[in-house]
Amino acid sequence: MLLSRTRMMCLLLQIQKLFMKKSFNDYNTEDYLFSCANGLIDLKTGKLLNHDPKYLLTQTSNVELNPEGTCNNFLSFLDDITNSDEKLKDYLQKLVGYCLTVSITERAVFIFYGHGRNGKSTFLRILHELMGDYTKAVNTQTFTDKRSDSVRNDLASLHDARLVATSELGRNGVLDATLIKELTGGDPITCRFLYRENFSFIPKFKLIMAVNQRPSLSVRDQAIWDRIHLIPFVVRIADDKLVAQEQLLALFHLEMSGI
């Protein structure tokens, strides 16, 4: 019942956004609150607060917070995909925490790269489930150098996201260096929804791409490369440890409150 009440509150606020005269910029402005199934996590203190419609939050995660929860299967999975590299494991865990926030201090794009059977897409799907409504999956063409739109409607839906995830750019995929710079610079960008007026917002999401090959950029600019954090997934899971992704995700689903 608790989960359904949380989801219903978010849906009612989403309907309110459509019919009330409030700007959508009035919603989801509590940067240090993260809504989950059993309350609001204060990201500054770690305390769990009660849900309250006064915060005008239309997003939530379906995962309950349980400080006493365990996640042994997930930790074992991290060992496997990092080859027990403690530095890489620590980095990935910090990245998960960073995604919960609206902080953009890193001013970075995170790229998981490596050929198949290495766990990168499974890790990204775990993030999706943890983040719930706070994550958006987008078409890879959004970030390639093939777009010519002067005002982008494909970016409009990202205005309140905390995590944006995409995969494979294709063999000849080239990242749009100018767009990458705009999305990570901390300055407003202008876009619009279809048949709507232009609006501006400051991107506060973390962009994560999962690719098989390291991407290239549309221009040679070291300053842009400095904003791209390449995270190698070089371990190929051995046959005797290989488990279907859906089976793994079912195991991790049971541990989400501990993850």
DSSP 53: G
**Contact predicate 212/113, CB 8 Å:** yes
In this structure, the number of other CB atoms found within 10 A of the CB of residue 216 comes to: 13
Query: Residue 63: CB partners within 8 Å, gap ≥ 6?
Result: 36, 37, 129, 130, 132, 256, 257
Contacts 24+ apart (CB under 8 A), 246-250: 248/73, 248/77, 248/122, 249/122, 249/125, 249/126, 249/129
Quote the pLDDT of residue 146.
Answer: 62
Look at residue 12 in the predicted model and tell me its pLDDT.
Answer: 61
For 134, phi then psi, to 5°, come to -80, -5
- Flag residues of the chain having pLDDT under 70: 1-24, 146-151, 170-172
What pTM value is reported for the model? 0.87
Instruction: Report the C-alpha gap between 101 and 2 in whole angstroms.
Output: 24
- Kindly state the DSSP code that residue 144 receives in the 8-state scheme: B
What pLDDT is recorded for position 8?
63
Question: Given this model, what pLDDT does residue 25 score?
Answer: 73
Which amino acid does the sequence have at 134? Y
Burial class (CB in 10 A: 0-12, 13-18, 19+), 121: middle
The C-alpha atoms of residue 167 and residue 249 are separated, in whole angstroms, by: 18
Write down the pLDDT at residue 196.
Answer: 84
Instruction: Determine the longest span between alpha carbons in the chain, in angstroms.
Output: 58
Record the tokens describing residue 193, joined without a space. 């929804």
Phi, psi of 136 (to 5 degrees): -130, 135
CA distances 153 to 22, 56, 200, 222, 237, Å, are: 21, 24, 12, 29, 39
Residues in contact with 249: Cβ distance below 8 Å, sequence separation at least 6, in sequence order:
122, 125, 126, 129
Q: Which domains does the chain show, CATH number per domain?
A: 2-55 (no CATH), 72-255 (3.40.50.300)
Q: For residue 112, which of 131, 103, 125, 130 has the smallest C-alpha distance?
A: 125
